Structure formats: C-alpha cells, structure tokens
C-alpha cells in the first residue's frame, strides 16, 4: 500500500509480528527506467534481510519497461516480483496500468511475460475480479496462461473500489478454475485471497472456506504491527495479541524515528500522520492525543507528545 507499507513500517512489522511474505509498496517500472526516476524511486525498493522473503511490487503497461525494471529487481536480490493489475487510482489507470490492464488481456499477458523474462524470479499478479463487472473466469484464464507463481484475487471489481463488501465466493471460484486449468501439475499457480480480512482468525477461516493457498492482509496491518505475532500458534483460546496502550505508543514513536531516519528530505513527514490515526484509537484520550500528534513536525515532537500522554 502506497505510503503505508514503506521500508520503515516493514522493519517495524518484521520486528513485532512478521508475516510469511512481505510485499513492497508498488513502484513505477516506467520510472525505474529513467536515471532520474530510478534515483528517486530506489528508496521504495530498500529492504533488510529481516524482511525476507520479500517481493517487489511494480506497475506498468509497457512490456519493455517492465522487462528492464524486472532486471533491476533481480539485481537488488528480491525473492519475487509482483505486478499490480488492480489499483483503481486514476493516475495509474491513465498510464494504462493497474486495473486498466483488466480491459486488455493481451497486453496484460505481455507485461507478465516481460517480467518473467527480465527477472528470472517467481512472478505474481495482484488483481480484481473484473473492471466494470465480474469477469473472473475469462480474466483469470488469460492470466493463468502465463503460468505465474501466484495470483492474488482482490474480491471486488474495479468499479466497486472498496465500497462494497468483498465477495469471497469469487476467491473460491478462482481456486476451482485454477484446479481445472492446471490439474495436479507439480508446479501450479497459487491463489491468494484478499479483501476485508480482519485478523488472523478471519484469514484462517476464509482460507478454509475457499481452499485458497494463502490470504493477503492489507488494511488490517495499518496501525497494528503486532498483527502477525504468534501467527503459527494462534488458537481460538489465545486469540490475537493485544498490546497495551503504552506498548502501541512506544512502537509508534519507534516507527516515527525510523521513518525520519530513512526518509528525511525524501518524504514529507505528513505521511506519518495517517499512521497516527491508525495507532491512536480505541482508548481513553485517543481523540485528543491524535489531535496533538497532527501538529507534530518531527519525531522529537511526536515522542514528547506521547510521553506527556503516558506521564513519563
């Protein structure tokens, strides 16, 4: 997610609750193909060994640029390359990328094959069930022809954005279609479900109901770097890990300092303020604390505000 799952937040997540696989923010393959663009965008492809396995997510509608950017992704040592074919942002669609590729099966296939040729890495796709309407069977069949390592199905159309509940029956359909197309081949495309997943228990239930090979959590991680803690021993009895207010605020400050360290003079500090809205909620005094944090201009000010709230 742009300006959410950046290098700073991923490091925090890796420390406090690491998932099975990380994806980067999505990055313009077109931008990476120009010297000026590459210099500016490489910060979005920075990562640490603690984040492995990590997949670089790119977007483009130009196969030649995707091939060139894919070479860079391989040189940078990523474990995989993901192509975003689901983003509904108009600025992305005007480039023919993101969800716009759902309207051009042949171009989408060319972009995927270029990524596979350029990187030599496992290539995956994140997409939706259709553009204006659900055309999952036709669209997924076209994607499966390229034999990607995985397809993440966001269970909505582009038209629906995130305004309607995700239709997880579509993920089950995707699994059945994959099975019918690829049978019991030793190497098969994984189907990963995505959309409105609340927590790990919900993810496990949705995986069981749909037979999906995996579940992607996006918005659920926002403000909750503890989400994946104890993921391998989660039980109905234990329930999710619930941090104390002090723990949440200490991690928020740590996140802020890391953001400033990595992105000072590269990203606007206001990016952190969307994180504050997510970290600071659900406890007495949260509203007033959020209002104070909205006025913070740097990490030191944010830390002072948090310490005063905690009376430290």
Q: Where are the beta strands (DSSP E) in the chain?
A: 22-28, 54-59, 80-85, 123-130, 150-157, 190-194, 214-216
Question: Is 181 in the active site?
Answer: no
Question: Distance between CA atoms of 116 and 118, rounded to whole angstroms?
Answer: 6
Question: Distance between CA atoms of 158 and 141, rounded to whole angstroms?
Answer: 18
Q: Name the DSSP letter for residue 312.
A: -
Question: Distance between CA atoms of 201 and 240, rounded to whole angstroms?
Answer: 8
Name the active-site residue from 87, 140, 171, 234: 87
Q: Name the DSSP letter for residue 218.
A: S
Could you tell me which residues are beta bridge partners of residue 55? 23, 80
SS3 27: strand
SS3 67: helix
Q: Which single residue is written with the structure tokens 């949705």?
A: 206
- In sign, the C-alpha dihedral spanning 78, 83, 88, 90 is positive
Return the HEC string of 245-273. HHHHHHHHHHHHHHHHHHHCCCCCCCHHH
- In sign, the C-alpha dihedral spanning 160, 163, 167, 171 is positive
Residue 291: CB atoms within 10 A of its CB come to: 12
Question: Distance between CA atoms of 90 and 187, rounded to whole angstroms?
Answer: 36
Question: Distance between CA atoms of 16 and 248, rounded to whole angstroms?
Answer: 11
> Which positions are annotated as active-site residues?
87
């Amino acid at each position: 997610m742009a300006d959410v799952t950046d290098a700073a937040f991923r490091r925090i997540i890796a420390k406090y609750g690491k998932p099975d696989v990380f994806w980067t923010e999505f990055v313009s393959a077109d931008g990476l193909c120009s010297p000026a663009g590459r210099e500016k965008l490489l910060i979005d492809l920075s990562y640490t060994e603690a984040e492995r396995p990590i997949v670089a997510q790119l977007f483009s509608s130009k196969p030649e640029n995707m091939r060139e950017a894919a070479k860079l992704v391989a040189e940078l040592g990523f474990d995989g390359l993901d192509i975003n074919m689901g983003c509904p942002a108009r600025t992305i669609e005007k480039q023919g990328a993101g969800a716009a590729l759902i309207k051009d099966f042949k171009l989408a296939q060319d972009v995927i094959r270029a990524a596979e040729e350029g990187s030599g890495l496992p290539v995956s796709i994140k997409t939706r069930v259709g553009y204006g309407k659900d055309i999952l069977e036709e669209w997924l069949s076209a994607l499966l022809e390229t034999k990607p390592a995985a397809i993440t199905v966001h269970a909505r159309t582009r038209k629906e954005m995130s305004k309607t509940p995700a239709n997880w029956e579509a993920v089950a359909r995707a699994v059945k279609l994959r099975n019918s197309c690829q049978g019991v081949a030793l190497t098969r495309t994984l189907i990963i479900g995505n959309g409105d997943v609340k927590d790990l228990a919900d993810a496990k239930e949705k995986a069981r109901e749909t037979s999906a090979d995996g579940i992607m959590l996006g918005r659920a991680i926002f403000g909750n770097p503890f989400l994946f803690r104890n993921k391998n021993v989660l039980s109905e009895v234990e329930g999710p890990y619930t941090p104390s207010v002090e723990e949440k605020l200490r991690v928020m400050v740590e996140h802020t300092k890391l953001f400033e360290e990595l992105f000072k003079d590269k990203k606007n500090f206001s990016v952190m303020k969307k994180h504050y809205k997510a970290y600071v909620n659900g406890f007495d005094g949260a509203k007033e604390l959020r209002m104070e944090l909205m006025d913070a201009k740097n990490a030191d000010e944010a830390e002072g505000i948090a310490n005063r709230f905690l009376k430290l």
